[in-house]
Structure 1
């Protein structure tokens, strides 16, 4: 049976180290937290400080007794954190990871990307490929993902079905492309593109819902897989197609939208030549009704100041894809400035412009990107954003992003971009338990992570003078900068284990 259709057999209580993002500037590091997940996969309650000796007392006080309660005691070197949220990736491009390093965006699309994507007209090829793709994404720690499919309706239905079967939370879109694409990989008309989109919307909305005691009309609670409108980018869409997609969006305010914006200078110039009546790249989407609170815009490397103001006014979110931006020589998104202006920002892997399906790589490259931006500005350099526009108390423009901000981008920031912040991105009562059980033990087998057991074996008292909270903070940082899928023991979505190293070992 599909993981997305069933509920848990019991209440589960986790005891041990827990990391919980709060905002851009802070997170909780709780060495002895007690967290309860109800049978439907939602967080029932959290007690932040419960010593080992008091676990049973607290559970008894909460009325949790009997065989229907499962207790998971975390080990030394383990901690729980919210699952990663990938706000931008291309499922059919995963087989191309590492190819085309010599190209910039438009040549890369022509020579590397479109030839691969055109193969997904073969539904059997799509099925075999997408099974491997989704498994890799899950095991990399991504609990929610915004997927681009291809322009093929049937193949994209298959992608949605596999995600649903595997139990991941996701948004799945069929690319809309009725011009400026190869002859063998372009839709015949705007009407055909729209009809295919409507067919996919109906298919995804018809997937079996979660078992839940809550109202079925709240689709963010009742469904894991959602449709998302996906005009690939303005270059590939005629104005009539964008107009029709805007009309679909207007009929359903909960329907998410994803596309690209201002990734590459040649792309921007081409876009402006196609839409001379529009004042900017962002204005193209705005004039067609595609900018709003649940629009996910990938890249935003070269935004003009007027565009930033427009995106803030519309409430759009940005998917920062630093791995891809470096790899395709697109440029560097000034994330700190966007955050200071109050724009929502999450992280995207943008495979295969990006060469890794892991948000950990995106975290590492986002950190490097912010440091490069900081190099370009001397100490005391005036920040481009007027101080009266700051949303954050501590400005981030032209500075390296600190650990709390990087954690935020990978989790709660991504949830905000996807308009899912009420459900995921952090641990709180009523939210879904979408989480990672992380191990930075040497037993995980990652030679880049120096486990505490090594210190003990060598007689190194590395933790001297550190509180347990500080030691947990150090574990988180080691995972963020040295970790990989070997350090992800379990991946939970809606309370269910759907991936991770332990899950893989348990499969026949």
Structure 2
């Protein structure tokens, strides 16, 4: 029998599908020393805890008992963000995409040629993102190999689960911030892949007799910044690299802004669509993460669904840079995988909670102009032009993101055998968040632990919560961040 390190007792929220989640007011959840969930027992009142632990063979395991107003949810998965842009948070909203890149983004990213600057900055960046509840993050670095290695080192040190990529950029960039050739860009990408895969296990318990069977916490990801910054030769080389290893994820941008779409079509006249550019170069497949997808044509939606690729929905950024609103409901109806992305610093917050709130608003605004000829949904319900429900928003922030990253076998929800990537959320008045009114009481005569009360707590957290409500952040069972973490 695998030993149990910790047993959590209290309220648990567990996403199931796009339209459902479990709200379990009295749950007992056991985690092994390797950070994997051993078992879950629902509806366990206080008086039953010791008896069940004895039956499960772990009477002496540590017990963490949650207070009323605290609950556990899967950690957030940020499927698209730019680590070197965090210093630019909140500026540049007067620009649209291409001007914003030239005026704000490229000047900041070029500073990461200085590895000492990169290392200092990334320490603050990764800590801040973890404390916002992001347990898995898809990071874009800069074009600099050494700086991106430093990012990988810091993510590894802090224990976050992540994909880290070095941007491929050999054209349509300023002279002070561009790679010298396709060959050099590819070589640096290959060097980063080798470096990340050489890092020792991040999970501290992997050095003990009980070793995790999970994938490495940090993995490399192929990162052509967008088609505009790459030549056909470079994209072909990256496609061949991807073909040599089916486990390599791919991340890039697509159809964020109308001018970007027009320029892409001009630069790649032999491809029928923007999505077709990636497909023609072997970069559109099951583990491809396409950020934004605001202006997709129907043919592109069909192609993305056929290739089983997915979309990182970044509504905060899309509003901030006046890019538009992605047709998320239609993508879901067509069977396209969708997760959420902060897209810092196009997005002005590193928190997935902010993205959840803006995704809700975006879905409502999208419904003001009904879609002509909406597709028949692959699901039991239709999502096109419908507002996203609490269940759907929770799914996109957790299990949907895991599915997009091809990690749904491991994270995104709670089940025996999955990794314990989780948040302990506190919506009590002592959280210090004045926008979240709980009205909670410890009076045992009141029905504090009903399912509907827990559902209300979740909804308030999603729409009024922030990092003050995230007490603890766990990755692979290891306590790595949150309000209670001692930095």
TM-score, normalization by structure 2:
0.96
Paired residue for 1:204?
196
Paired residue for 2:87?
95
CA contact (8 A) 1:17 1:472 kept: yes
Q: How far apart are the structure 2 equivalents of 1:467 and 1:497?
A: 26
1:156 equivalent in alignment to 2:148: yes
Q: How far apart are the structure 1 equivalents of 2:401 and 2:249?
A: 14
CA contact (8 A) 1:435 1:492 kept: yes
Alignment of 1:459-478 (within 5 A): 468-478=450-460
Paired residue for 1:139?
131
Paired residue for 1:5?
none
CA contact (8 A) 1:383 1:398 kept: no
Structure 1, residues 209-235: CA drift from partner, whole Å, max 9, x if none? 24547999x7xx241000000000000
1:449 to 436, 455, 471: 436
Structure 1, residues 59-102: CA drift from partner, whole Å, max 9, x if none? 11101123xx1000000100000000000000000000111111
Q: CA deviation at 1:255?
A: 0.3
Q: How far apart are the structure 2 equivalents of 1:468 and 1:382?
A: 42
1:313 equivalent in alignment to 2:306: yes
Q: How far apart are the structure 1 equivalents of 2:159 and 2:442?
A: 39
Paired residue for 1:4?
none
Paired residue for 2:55?
61
Paired residue for 2:469?
487
Alignment of 1:300-379 (within 5 A): 300-377=293-370
SS in 2 for 1:150: coil
Q: How far apart are the structure 2 equivalents of 1:288 and 1:172?
A: 22
CA contact (8 A) 1:205 1:226 kept: yes
SS in 1 for 2:101: helix
Q: How far apart are the structure 2 equivalents of 1:26 and 1:192?
A: 48
Q: How far apart are the structure 1 equivalents of 2:79 and 2:31?
A: 26
Q: Structure 1 residues 171 and 195 mapped into 2: Cα distance closer, same or farther (>3 Å)?
A: same
Q: How far apart are the structure 2 equivalents of 1:440 and 1:350?
A: 27
Structure 1, residues 177-205: CA drift from partner, whole Å, max 9, x if none? 01110001000100000000011001000
Alignment of 1:32-47 (within 5 A): 32-47=26-41
RMSD of aligned Cα (Å): 1.8
1:417 to 404, 415, 428: 404
Paired residue for 1:230?
223
Q: How far apart are the structure 1 equivalents of 2:62 and 2:442?
A: 31
Q: How far apart are the structure 2 equivalents of 1:185 and 1:437?
A: 41
1:299 equivalent in alignment to 2:292: yes
SS in 2 for 1:452: coil
1:105 equivalent in alignment to 2:97: yes
Paired residue for 1:434?
421
Q: CA deviation at 1:382?
A: 6.5
Q: CA deviation at 1:452?
A: 2.7
Alignment of 1:207-218 (within 5 A): 207-209=199-201, 210=203, 211-212=205-206
CA contact (8 A) 2:3 2:32 kept: no
TM-score, normalization by structure 1:
0.92
SS in 1 for 2:342: coil
**Structure 1 segments of 4+ aligned residues over 3 angstroms from their partners:** 210-216
1:27 equivalent in alignment to 2:9: no
Q: CA deviation at 1:384?
A: 1.2
Unaligned runs of 5+ in 2: none
Q: How far apart are the structure 2 equivalents of 1:257 and 1:164?
A: 20
Structure 1, residues 307-333: CA drift from partner, whole Å, max 9, x if none? 001000101010000000000000000
Q: CA deviation at 1:383?
A: 5.3
